[in-house]
Amino acid sequence: MKNVVVNAVGEQCPIPVVKATRALRAMTEPGILEVHVDNEIAVQNLTRMASGHHLTAKAEKTGAAEFVVTMEVTAPVGDAPAEEPELACAPDMRSDFVVAVDTDVMGRGSDELGRTLMKGFLFAVSQLPKLPKTILFYNGGAKLTVEGSDSLEDLKKMEAQGVEILTCGTCLNFYGLTEKLAVGSATNMYSIVETLAGAGKVIKP
């Protein structure tokens, strides 16, 4: 397996996509292509590029303005055509709606089924053409943003694309999970109410 690292920090669209495409074409064997950038729009465009090449991509926020997009290359891309500039420089994929999650299960009946449904729900949100501006987690929903959560990868991917992930700090404390928060940041009830009041639309699973 060959690992290739592309540094596109400080670069604006379409440069990160151009650099990644060139590196991808130069790979003659399976491996991992890792692209470092410093803005959410670049993450969104690189994720689209990976999808266009049918590659599995993982995006993660590693710092205040540090992001890594990792693509799993199972076969050489070679001279596959690059994406058109307008696709590479697509507009911001975030929209003015908020997702509010108040439990770690979805629906009533079986909790086991409910946890599976909630995982599927958050994955589906991550695949929307327009991502939410913010995802709020409170009460039992706080369990979804901590270490061991089955939804961490999907949440980190959305965070890397600019989605704000906020978890109720009081709720984390109540469940003894304050030190285990693994994505986004803790918030308070005032901010939760302010976010909900300012949303164009609120979706609850």
Q: What is the pLDDT of residue 86?
A: 46
pTM as predicted = 0.73
Distance, CA of 81 to CA of 84 (rounded, Å) = 9
The distance in angstroms from the start CA to the end CA of the chain is 40
Contact 159, 130 (CB under 8 A): no
Exposure string for 56-86, b = 16+ CB within 10 A, e = fewer: ebbbbbeeeeebbbbbebeeebeeeebbeee
Q: What is the pLDDT of residue 5?
A: 94
Q: What is the pLDDT of residue 87?
A: 47
Per-run averaged pLDDT (10 residues), the chain, 205 residues? 89 88 88 92 88 86 89 74 50 83 95 96 92 96 97 92 94 97 96 94 94
Contact 159, 129 (CB under 8 A): no
Q: What is the pLDDT of residue 78?
A: 60
Distance, CA of 139 to CA of 104 (rounded, Å) = 9
Q: What is the pLDDT of residue 89?
A: 66
Q: What is the pLDDT of residue 84?
A: 43
Q: What 3-state class would DSSP assign to 62?
A: strand
Q: What is the pLDDT of residue 83?
A: 46
Average pLDDT, the chain: 89
Q: What is the pLDDT of residue 12?
A: 85
DSSP labels, 128-140: SSSB-SEEEE-GG
Helix 152-160 vs helix 111-126: crossing angle, to nearest 10: 20
pLDDT in tens, 29-66: 889 999 999 988 889 889 888 888 888 888 988 888 89
